[in-house]
Structure 1
Amino acid sequence: MGMIDPPRPEATEAVKVCKGAGIIPVMITGDHPETAVAIASEVGIYDRTRHKALSGRDLDNLSDDDLEKVAYDTRVYARVSPGHKMRIVDALKRRGHVVAMTGDGVNDAPALKRADIGVAMGITGTDVAKETADMILTDDNFSSIVAAVEQGRIIYANIRKFVYYLLSVNIGEILIIFAAMVAGMPVPLKPVHLLWLNLVTDSFPALAIGMEKGDPDIMRRPPRKPGEPIITASRWVGIAVQSALIAVATLGVFWYTLHAVLGPIAAEVCFPWADADWIPSGIAHILGSSGDVMSDTVAMKIRARLETFPGLAYARTVTLTTLVLAELLRAFSARSDMYPIYKIGFTTNRYMLYATGASFGLMLLVMYTPPLALLFSFVPLKGSDWLIVIPFALIPAAGSEAAKIIRQGFGRHSLQ
């Protein structure tokens, strides 16, 4: 007659997922060493060819320094006392590991408290263990811990993507205004346009990014370093590149549209760095008979006149529409650091569809409703205008997608 207390069927798969995620499962038990080794081998924790198994007596013969040296390769601890459990936790922490400890009894409480994350059993756990723990498993299932780790990684990754997206688009908007001022151009965006971008265009997609389900390989990546910032050096480089692409696309469409409406405006008026010697007919009368010599005063008058020129309102509308569409397309690309949008799918995050649809729909509503268009200084765009908007709006998202493909080609799957 024999007795057996087999592990749960899902335990083996949970251990496999942990190992793929860079998490090292370790068994600490009061059972006989042979029993502990047999169970640990069955679920994939212990490999007789590579791992060690220590008993409580072995631990008594090891100093703290010696235990620290063997702790990494030891996967089974048997016949241990509460004091042994605390020593094991301390040894792993001294090696730089983040330690999660599970337990259900009163004798587990000291180690639960000492660990970085104490996990108590909700069904079989004692009140002392539950009060000491940081987390309680309501189903007493090890696989629930793995699921919690996965959700934690998804949440952290979404926070990163949320911040990454908002910084890239907002710094891009700053660059647009700053570059226009330095170049002596008319301001491409009015204050009300910037308010619109921050309240409507940027916020909805950013919230939708927070609802991402996570990359399919998120549990096949190593854990991040404990002291690693949300925005690492490589991510700052990515933010700088994306911000520059947004600024280049927006200023490019502004420059192109002004030229299309007004012609190559006088060098001193809109583009001091350009080589042009004529001005739009709508402001030609300002120069009078001495139009061939443009003083600073005359240039200031022309810039003031440009603010009331219909062509500038049109150019700003095209520019803002391009920027709005660019940021919405960029939001789709920001859903994953690793996978191009065609791999994760356009429709896999319905919240992103709702957010971008609402943002763009409100933009169209304001543009094509005369009272609102007047309030926001918009000019209704014609069908041909969208042939200008769309190519420029695709530039930032296309750059982001190209970077992912290049990183995959070089074996770097994501920004760290």
Structure 2
Amino acid sequence: EGLLPTVTLSLAMGSQRMARKKALIKTLTSVETLGSVTVICTDKTGTLTQNVMEAKNFWSDGEIHGMEYLKNSALLAVIAGLCNNARFIDGQYSGDPTEVALLKAVRENVGDLEGERIFEIPFDSERKRMTTVNIIEGKKLALTKGALESVLPLCSHMLMNGKEVKMDERLREMAMDAYRSLTGMGLRVLSFAYRELKDRGTSTVNPDEMENGLVFAGLVGIEDPPRPEVPEAIRRCREAGIKVIMITGDGSRTAVAIAREIGLVKGEPVVIEGHEFERMGERELRERLSGKEVIFARMTPKYKMRVVSVLKEEGERVAVTGDGVNDAPALKKADIGIAMGVAGTDVAKESADMILLDDNFATIVNAIEEGRAVYENIKKFISYIFSSNIPEIVPYLAYVLFRIPLPLTIMQILAVDLGTDMLPALALGAEKPTRELMKQPPRSPKERLLNLRLLSRAYLFLGPIEAAAAMFGFFYVLNSGGWRWGEMLAADNHLYMQATTVCLTAIVVTQVANVFACRSFRESVFSIGFFSNRLIFAGIAFELLFQLFIVYHPLGNRIFSTRPIPLKMWLVLIPFAVMLFAAEELRKYFRAGRYRTSSP
């Protein structure tokens, strides 16, 4: 009777705990789904990293320099500062973090630049570049910045020591070597190019003309440091058997360098770049995804949908992050779609099941831990509630089979199910995750909540101890009052009513021990902290007060057909509670011993 409200409240309490940890759950069922996640497909920028960009190095004239020497490469500074939509207003920078980093580097090392913008081809994830047309000192210049593989093929010349030198294979290889050096440092690398347009007016601009025959000006490496909490979160994912796949628009060398820094990659990862991904067949993609460490680089949001679909077809439970409009299909397709609360669009948030209020990868791992805890807690209070079914059923079986007075009435059963058991069961739903919870592999989606192990523990181990206590108390009172076997007693007989009261009290007393026994399936209650869940004690206090009302108050006697019992009967029943608690602690001890023996 109390199972449905208890489950609902447990899910609600789990979602509240997640909200306090910066993870906002939109549907209660998603709380439980989180606990079975096997793969997390995560963005890099802003999720694994801080999204606090800073220009660190640049390459020009064949050498890598610190940003303090940017004033010596005037044209590179001009492109970085003017092919840029970031702004410095009232002492504050605003705009895309990458562009803010460039503008800040130019202002601090070169100064404010002037140039009238007359045209713009905005950046998009397909072209991987942005171009503006600016009037600078009377000249009309097309200024381009973007990914090296997008900009370098458009260049016919390279700026070397102030001169435009015709591009050849040696210069291309020089630029590629510099790119590899910068990305090897874990930097995001942008390339910069320009060309002077013949038409000096401001009315006509040919987009095709302006991005051909460019002069390559150099590279800038931008640092986006990892979040300090991420390495620990990645380690916890490994322990929990959760695979983390990085999906980023950055180059592969930058992605791998960051992945190594945060501990995502230990060996040689499977790296798939966007241009490979487009040509890759389903069979090959499945094989590559089966690798232990997988990184997708130079990816666009539209590719995420295919990755998620293949992983789900392979039987994985997938969580995927996203912040843009184009991420919405993948967020919908995933078992758990996770939108960014700070950088995310409204469309992404609407499509997601969970919103990260701090855009932090570590928050995802905390939410998965809470999801696992909720599932475990549901199993705990099911075990707790089901254990009391045996001492409720056994009296009726004994009544039918052995011709004895009925040891427990219907109202007394309801007193347990809807009265004394409710608050302790809810308190079990508030148990915090144990240390061992994230050291277990994800459960299978096919795993049943009511499995044989749980039912055996409740019905064949804990329940019989409670039933023994209840029947012992019932017969103890009857025999003390001179009852003879086979003698049937009237429902209002004082001795009979005392005996049923003791039977009910035995269930309540052993359920007090059972609530502690059910706080964990594996760890001793002393290792998780005997007093760590204060709601347990509040629930027990209510349970005992309610039982005292049933036993000793006239109204309780009238409603539940009970009679007051002497103190010694409580003392007779307490050893059964101690026995139940000790038996469960011994089971956990021997189970842990077997686990330690079997572990390498």
Same fold (TM over 0.5): yes
Task: Look up the match of 1:68.
Answer: 286
CA RMSD, Structure 1 to Structure 2 (Å): 2.3
Task: Look up the match of 1:338.
Answer: 522
User: Is the contact between residue 21 and residue 222 of structure 1 (CA under 8 Å) also seen in structure 2?
Assistant: yes
Task: Look up the match of 1:250.
Answer: 470
- Separation of aligned partners in 1, 2:395 and 2:587: 23
Q: Give the residue type in structure 2 aligned to 1:333.
A: A
Q: How does 1:14-413 map to 2 (within 5 A)?
A: 14-49=233-268, 51-73=269-291, 74-241=293-460, 242-262=462-482, 265-266=484-485, 269=486, 302-304=487-489, 307=491, 309-370=493-554, 372-373=556-557, 376-411=560-595
- Separation of aligned partners in 2, 1:105 and 1:373: 64
- Separation of aligned partners in 1, 2:304 and 2:446: 26
Q: Give the residue type in structure 1 aligned to 2:481.
A: V
User: Is the contact between residue 46 and residue 76 of structure 1 (CA under 8 Å) also seen in structure 2?
Assistant: no
Question: Relative to structure 1, is the Cα distance of residues 119 and 100 closer, same or farther in structure 2, using a 3 angstrom cutoff?
Answer: same
Q: Compute the displacement of 1:122 (Å).
A: 1.6
- Separation of aligned partners in 2, 1:395 and 1:319: 17
Corresponding pairs, count: 376
SS of 1:140 mapped into structure 2: coil
Question: Relative to structure 1, is the Cα distance of residues 92 and 376 closer, same or farther in structure 2, using a 3 angstrom cutoff?
Answer: closer
Q: Give the residue type in structure 1 aligned to 2:476.
A: Y
Q: Compute the displacement of 1:375 (Å).
A: 5.0
Range that drifts further, 188-197 or 9-18: 188-197
Q: Give the residue type in structure 2 aligned to 1:52.
A: V
User: Is the contact between residue 424 and residue 540 of structure 2 (CA under 8 Å) also seen in structure 1?
Assistant: yes
Range that drifts further, 190-199 or 155-164: 190-199
**TM-score w.r.t. structure 2 length?**
0.59
Question: Relative to structure 1, is the Cα distance of residues 309 and 134 closer, same or farther in structure 2, using a 3 angstrom cutoff?
Answer: closer
Q: Which runs of 5+ in 2 are unaligned?
A: 1-55, 58-221
Q: Alpha-carbon deviations, 1:64-100, whole Å to 9, x = none? A: 1111012021421111234432222222222211111
Q: Give the residue type in structure 2 aligned to 1:358.
A: F
Question: Relative to structure 1, is the Cα distance of residues 304 and 379 closer, same or farther in structure 2, using a 3 angstrom cutoff?
Answer: closer
Q: Compute the displacement of 1:225 (Å).
A: 0.5
- Separation of aligned partners in 1, 2:451 and 2:596: 15
Q: Give the residue type in structure 2 aligned to 1:70.
A: R
Q: Alpha-carbon deviations, 1:182-205, whole Å to 9, x = none? A: 121111112332232222211121
Q: Alpha-carbon deviations, 1:339-392, whole Å to 9, x = none? A: 222323332211111111111122223423355435544333333333312123
- Separation of aligned partners in 2, 1:68 and 1:6: 32
- Separation of aligned partners in 2, 1:391 and 1:181: 28
User: Is the contact between residue 386 and residue 459 of structure 2 (CA under 8 Å) also seen in structure 1?
Assistant: no
Question: Relative to structure 1, is the Cα distance of residues 142 and 375 closer, same or farther in structure 2, using a 3 angstrom cutoff?
Answer: closer
Q: Which has the higher helix share?
A: 1
- Separation of aligned partners in 1, 2:302 and 2:285: 13
- Separation of aligned partners in 2, 1:403 and 1:346: 18
Question: Relative to structure 1, is the Cα distance of residues 105 and 314 closer, same or farther in structure 2, using a 3 angstrom cutoff?
Answer: closer
Question: Relative to structure 1, is the Cα distance of residues 316 and 30 closer, same or farther in structure 2, using a 3 angstrom cutoff?
Answer: same
Q: Which has the higher strand share?
A: 2
